[in-house]
Structure 1
Amino acid sequence: MKGREKLRQAIDSLYAGGQAAAEAYTPLVVECLRVNDVGQAKRLQSHMDRHYFTPSDSFLHNRLLHLYARFGKISDARNLFDKMPRRDIISWNTMLSVYAKSGSVENLRALFDQMPSRDSVSYNTVIAGLAGRGFSSQALEVFLRMNIDGFEQTEYTHVSALNACSRLSDLRKGKQIHGRIYVGRLGRNVFVSNALTDMYAKCGEIDRARWLFDRTDNKNVVSWNSLIAGYLKNGQPKKCIDLFQEMQVAGFKPDDVTVSNVLGGYFQSGMVEEASKVFSMIKKKDKVSWTTMIVSYVQNGKEEDALTLFSKMLAEGVKPDGFTFSSVISSCARLAYLCNGQVVHGKAILLGVDNDLLVSSALVDMYCKCGITKDASVVFDTMPTRNVVSWNAMIRGYAQNGQDLEALALYENLLQEKLKPDNITFVAVLSACNHAGLIEEGRRYFDSISKRHALVPTLDHYACMINLLGRSGCMREAMDLTKNMPHEPNSLIWSTLLSVCAMKGDMEYAEMAAKRLFELEPRNAGPYIMLSNMYATRGRWEDVAAVRSLMKSKNVKKFAAYSWIEIDNEVHKFVAEDATHPQTEIIYEGLSRLIKKLQEAGFMPDTKLVLHDVVEEEKFASICYHSEKLALAFGLIKKPHGTTPIRIMKNIRVCGDCHQFMKLVSRIIGRSIILRDSNRFHHFVDGSCSCKDYW
């Protein structure tokens, strides 16, 4: 501050004395540069202009231009440049650097073309300015022109040109530049070798990049980062991680760029815990690193961790973008955490990203997956722009929530908007036909996939049609469709067929489908359980034992069925006959009272659905204390009054007895219940369900 104060006093004295000689300005301009005081420099220029002072040489003006360039003062620099009575090559080059640093590419090229003469600095400034701002093709044009004009190209020149090739993934030009570097013996320069490694890595020749890296004598962190990023870009996350470990063994300290790239490597490898450790190493976490870690959690089934990390991101003052928000909202959708989703929606509105296409589409999906299609529809209707993803989310949401006719009507609106449906659209449309039992409409929409919209029906489409035909009693047609598909039936097709057979009691086709599934997915417990249950309903206990023995011999583990309910922003999870909840005793008492009330109304638990060879009392206890019934009892205890629906989620398909139970409860207590199982939503209102008992 002392230097600046002395400078200000000296310039004040200059102002007080009126016009001064050129020698008086020179030390003051130099001092402005030394202390980086652009304000006092502008005062000096003003004093010079007022007294019509025009030095015979350009020294003072060049020093002022240099200072303006340093601070990116484009208008001040251009104003001074235009007034200069005499411009030398330094003046022109300094003005070029002003435009290059500020990213004013159009002015940069125009000034370069106006120059009466150029030198290597002129060319290097323009090439670096263009390459650094993403105008890679123009940078390479100037690089070629520099060579034609006969100017010497230095390490600095080649690094900028290689960076342009990297951005364009132009391997051919990159190799040509490498040849020039080799001839000029510039390859041992660490910046050049880094740029070469980066170019080959980004152009897909990762092995060549590694070869160059191994022959670099004076490796630095940038060299390691180039190759680590190259492995990541070329889909080799394991080598990216291995190189990171090799880097540490070699004694190099990773920087935030290193860690961010390695985080992506762990992300691609699905190594979430390791990614979390690497994430904690980043000192200055930017939006990209936070978002990468959040997405890593979301895509690896750790949605609750994603929500926790999002809260920390906000607490750290890092502003999320649309991609971050869409990922977090997707977590809320998967967990059906409506309260969390509404809070995130509010944050998006506050930060002004709620109208972002990714965010609004995710919000539509989230509200639908929480069973609130009304709110989803409001978001959908107010979107400033919509793409097929947005339409798909709303159509699928209607179908999942039993509003099948609304789903089909919205699809027709999509066609009226002249939008082209995609494969996901038709999965949603066929699902709506399936749930509503609209067999003729389903056939028509299925045929239109190829005939009207020139798409190739996928296995998902065939699975929808097989399900629709089988459930509608057209089992022979469903089997014919399976046999005549252009695709080899996969596990989805056979699982669909097995599910239909289980519903229709078709043992012959069920055994055939189960056998195929045992071959395709020998460790998947689902087909074994489904076939075993079919045997159990027929009292074929020896066959049940045989299936269970087969499961044991193949070490197949049965997955646990559970339900969860969100009460006051806290999630409570239950399994069948659960005794782990802190309020277990109160929950069972409440459920017993509810069962008694239903029995008085004529309800009796369907013990035939208990697929174990046990006595009737045990069957009764087993069927009465399924996880969704425990969740319902808890919800009614915590929220005994009001009109808000009780909302329950289950990870597998709801059983027939629980479905009937929920219907009767909704009628007797006059309260709606929303249950989301693995198949669809069930909205129980006044004794009926939105699925129309078809799920």
Structure 2
Amino acid sequence: MCLCKCDQVATLSTPLISLPRHPNPSSPTTVNNDLRSSSHTAVIAQIEQCTNIAQLKQVHAQMLRTGIFFDPYYIDYARQVFDQIPHPNLYTWNTLIRAYASSADPVESIFVFLDMLYGCSECPNKYTYPFVIKAASELRALLTGRAVHGMAIKSSLGLDIYILNSLVHFYGTCGDLDLARRVFVKTPKKDVVSWNSVITVFAQGNCPEEALELFKEMEAENVEPNDVTMVGVLSACGQKVDLEFGRWVCLYIARNGITENLTLNNAVLDMYVKCGSVEEAKILFDRMPEKDIVSWTTMLDGYAQSGNYDKAWRIFDAMPSQDIAAWNVLISSYEQSGKPKEALAVFNELQKSKSPIPDGVTLVNTLAACSQLGAIDLDKALEVFNSVESRDVFVWSAMISGFAMHGQGRDALDIFSKMLEAKVNPNAVTFTNLLCACSHAGLVDEGRMFFYQMEPAYGVVPGVKHYACMVDILGRSGNLEEAVELIEKMKIPPTASVWGALLGACGRNGSFELAEKACSHMLELDPRNHGLYVLLSNIYAKTGKWEEVSGLRKLVQDLGIKKERGCSSIEANGSVHEFLVGDNFHPMCKEIYSKLDEIAGRLKLVGYVPNKSHLLHFLEEEDMKDHALILHSEKLAIAFGLISLSPSQPIQVVKNLCVCGDCHTVAKLISKLYGRVILLRDRYRFHHFKDGHCSCNDYW
């Protein structure tokens, strides 16, 4: 900390009535109007009663220790004090820069720094730059921070350890771990803060191996670690899920007499939870002399992620206060464990409580639960989306994804337009979801427009997922030549997903030569992918190349590749029932096959003929082909739904593979013949069947 001299601080002899140079519209305009609480009044009174610099420094130190110096109220007050000083000196400028750097509005720190460059006769010193770099770090402003780094070098302060330590943290926070390490290596006399900074940025940057290697180097250099060091090391252990080393770290802390505190105990607690040792976490939790909301939430997360919801709810109910993070833990754990109804029930409880306010994480997890549940017409998802005014890019992207999965492409595009109106910048995930929406709804021109606008208009460089989506859009619409041209012009090597999108398009359009080309590329990248053999086999069969079909079948057998079996699940009366292809193990097996016979008879009367082109073509006998089609898992699940669910209940089926064309046709006909709503979620999207129609308009 820099120390001031008595003659460096101006005395306050005039009333504070002027406005800040950068006024905050929400802040009061005068000190008298600012005195809204007794605590504020008391502190201001202490300041105004100071008769010398020693007393003022004492109050200042107390405010720093308690953290209230960075309260927006006091920062506004400090700014008004600052504005009364005719010629602020360097210490005064540094104090204000530091205050804003640690505030909720760090960009003001940068503005004050720029004002100082023009308004102060003294040059920035080694105490100025760390505060400005901290502000740039809070803002993730890489270019600004690099500019400040350059200024420090030009000021002959480029090797100051305080500045270098700040830069390590800054570059790490901005995601440039290479630069963070290079700055660390160039630090001439590394202290414990230097090591802590680099270990922490690598641990927080999802590079746990490097973080632990740096810790070993630190030990080799005989630099004594402290509690901050161990927090970073424990974080790395948790990411690696290395419980054994995590236990060693706990012993190391005890052996080396490293002082335990709340932050360190929370780090140990988090390590135990991430490594799956919830009982060890509970032992520590029970003996912790001090607990905060992080401690309680970590323990809650441990039980929830392990599926022990009884204990999770007991922790939740015992929490001194339940902030939004605690609610998010429950919603997220239910959603990730395949319990979307329970996740939505927690969200409903949160809404009823009216406190705390849902945030972006709440909405993303709740929207994901809605997607799992497949709520008809997305009503619940829209209710969740509309329940919060402040929506970040992830919330908007999740809503676009929801519409995309349900084949509501136009609605997805409408949400994107509203997102831009709300001045939320789209990211790579947004465009992946947007292009998927265009693909599922056949919006070729719109997809092409979005793809080619990504980088020039929004600064988002297309990645592999975007190219795969675009190839799919072009391929589905029959624009195979344009799809091939796009692949050839890719700035990054095409992956199996890109060639797979092209191969799928060839299957729909019967392009034999192009299919072989795509398949050869896929074989190089993913030779054991059974799906590509299925697609290629169907293409051979469509073009009458039966020798190639037989050869492909023999190759699959020789390689020992097993096809992923189709599996469909359906919930009825509180229980989930699963069906495999040709399943005959279900307790209601006889009733289900009897229902299938009934369905087959009614379908035949309306002119339905099984579409045998949707088989693998590895079956030769015609009667076996007919039999195989009727045994598809989704047909079994739908038949069970007709038996077990009341006519007013929708039949909701989830399948692990893409629904075949024949099953798609059958589901449409059943929805009309039996007057039922069928919701089928396959590997890629939802299909809503009603009155003989599907929401995808037969485009999937």
Q: Indicate whether the TM-score tops 0.5.
A: yes
CA contact (8 A) 2:331 2:366 kept: yes
The alpha carbon displacement at 1:497 in A equals: 0.4
Structure 2: how far apart are the matches of 1:530 and 1:275?
45
For 1:469, the equivalent position in structure 2 comes to 474
Structure 2: how far apart are the matches of 1:250 and 1:209?
12
For 1:201, the equivalent position in structure 2 comes to 199
Q: Pick one of 362, 366, 369 that aligns with 1:363.
A: 366
Residue type matched to 2:200 in 1?
K
- 1:402-441 residue pairs with structure 2 within 5 A? 402-441=407-446
For 1:648, the equivalent position in structure 2 comes to 653
Q: What is the CA deviation profile of residues 230-249 of structure 1, one whole-angstrom value per residue up to 9, with x for unaligned ones?
A: 34667995597564254477
CA contact (8 A) 1:439 1:468 kept: yes
SS at match of 1:571: strand
- 1:155-304 residue pairs with structure 2 within 5 A? 169=169, 198=196, 201-202=199-200, 209-213=215-219, 223=226, 226-231=228-233, 237-238=239-240, 243-247=245-249, 252=254, 261=267, 274=276, 282-284=284-286, 288=294
The alpha carbon displacement at 1:514 in A equals: 1.4
CA contact (8 A) 2:360 2:391 kept: yes
For 1:561, the equivalent position in structure 2 comes to 566
SS at match of 2:399: helix
Structure 1: how far apart are the matches of 2:566 and 2:318?
38
Distance 1:460 1:273, change over 3 A: same
For 2:205, the equivalent position in structure 1 comes to none
Number of equivalent positions: 562
> Would you say 1:578 and 2:576 are equivalent positions?
no
Q: What is the CA deviation profile of residues 73-108 of structure 1, one whole-angstrom value per residue up to 9, with x for unaligned ones?
A: 9899989999x9x99x9x999988875664433799
Q: What is the CA deviation profile of residues 327-382 of structure 1, one whole-angstrom value per residue up to 9, with x for unaligned ones?
A: 65456667775422321221322452453233234434443452442232233334
Distance 1:609 1:168, change over 3 A: closer
For 1:151, the equivalent position in structure 2 comes to none
Q: Pick one of 482, 492, 503 that aligns with 1:498.
A: 503
Distance 1:349 1:94, change over 3 A: same
Q: Pick one of 619, 637, 642 that aligns with 2:643.
A: 637
Q: Pick one of 510, 515, 521 that aligns with 1:510.
A: 515
- 1:339-378 residue pairs with structure 2 within 5 A? 339-351=341-353, 352-353=355-356, 355-369=358-372, 370-372=374-376, 373-378=378-383
The alpha carbon displacement at 1:668 in A equals: 1.2
For 2:598, the equivalent position in structure 1 comes to 593
For 2:69, the equivalent position in structure 1 comes to 105
Structure 2: how far apart are the matches of 1:294 and 1:629?
41
> Would you say 1:682 and 2:687 are equivalent positions?
yes
For 1:459, the equivalent position in structure 2 comes to 464
Structure 2: how far apart are the matches of 1:167 and 1:349?
43
Residue type matched to 1:631 in 2?
A
Structure 2: how far apart are the matches of 1:398 and 1:392?
10
CA contact (8 A) 1:430 1:446 kept: yes
Q: Pick one of 606, 609, 613 that aligns with 2:611.
A: 606
CA contact (8 A) 1:259 1:278 kept: no
CA contact (8 A) 2:331 2:344 kept: no
Distance 1:361 1:99, change over 3 A: same
The alpha carbon displacement at 1:499 in A equals: 1.0
Structure 1: how far apart are the matches of 2:46 and 2:523?
80
SS at match of 2:285: coil
CA contact (8 A) 2:475 2:501 kept: no
Structure 2: how far apart are the matches of 1:573 and 1:313?
34
Q: What is the CA deviation profile of residues 441-478 of structure 1, one whole-angstrom value per residue up to 9, with x for unaligned ones?
A: 33333333345445433333332232222222222222
Q: What is the CA deviation profile of residues 29-83 of structure 1, one whole-angstrom value per residue up to 9, with x for unaligned ones?
A: xxxxxxxxxxxxxxxxxxxxxxxxxxxxxxxxxxxxxxxxxxxx9899989999x
Q: CA RMSD in A?
A: 5.2
Residue type matched to 2:614 in 1?
L
Kindly name which structure, 1 or 2, has the bigger radius of gyration based on alpha carbons.
1
The alpha carbon displacement at 1:663 in A equals: 0.5
The alpha carbon displacement at 1:516 in A equals: 0.9
Q: What is the CA deviation profile of residues 543-578 of structure 1, one whole-angstrom value per residue up to 9, with x for unaligned ones?
A: 445445544555544333212223344333222122
Distance 1:279 1:618, change over 3 A: farther
The alpha carbon displacement at 1:623 in A equals: 1.7
The alpha carbon displacement at 1:252 in A equals: 5.0
SS at match of 2:634: helix
The alpha carbon displacement at 1:408 in A equals: 2.5
CA contact (8 A) 1:564 1:631 kept: yes
The alpha carbon displacement at 1:518 in A equals: 1.3
Structure 1: how far apart are the matches of 2:678 and 2:413?
25
Distance 1:175 1:408, change over 3 A: closer
CA contact (8 A) 1:333 1:367 kept: no
The alpha carbon displacement at 1:674 in A equals: 0.9
CA contact (8 A) 1:523 1:555 kept: no
- 1:529-544 residue pairs with structure 2 within 5 A? 529-535=534-540, 542-544=547-549
The alpha carbon displacement at 1:639 in A equals: 1.6
Structure 2: how far apart are the matches of 1:432 and 1:180?
52
Residue type matched to 1:230 in 2?
G
Structure 2: how far apart are the matches of 1:165 and 1:450?
35
The alpha carbon displacement at 1:434 in A equals: 2.6
SS at match of 1:283: helix
**TM-score (normalised: structure 2):** 0.65
The runs of 5 or more residues in structure 1 that have no matched partner are: 1-72, 114-126, 145-160, 182-192
CA contact (8 A) 2:570 2:653 kept: yes
Distance 1:367 1:533, change over 3 A: same
For 1:623, the equivalent position in structure 2 comes to 629
Structure 2: how far apart are the matches of 1:465 and 1:202?
39
The alpha carbon displacement at 1:690 in A equals: 0.8
Distance 1:686 1:473, change over 3 A: same
- 1:657-676 residue pairs with structure 2 within 5 A? 657-676=662-681
Structure 2: how far apart are the matches of 1:174 and 1:497?
46
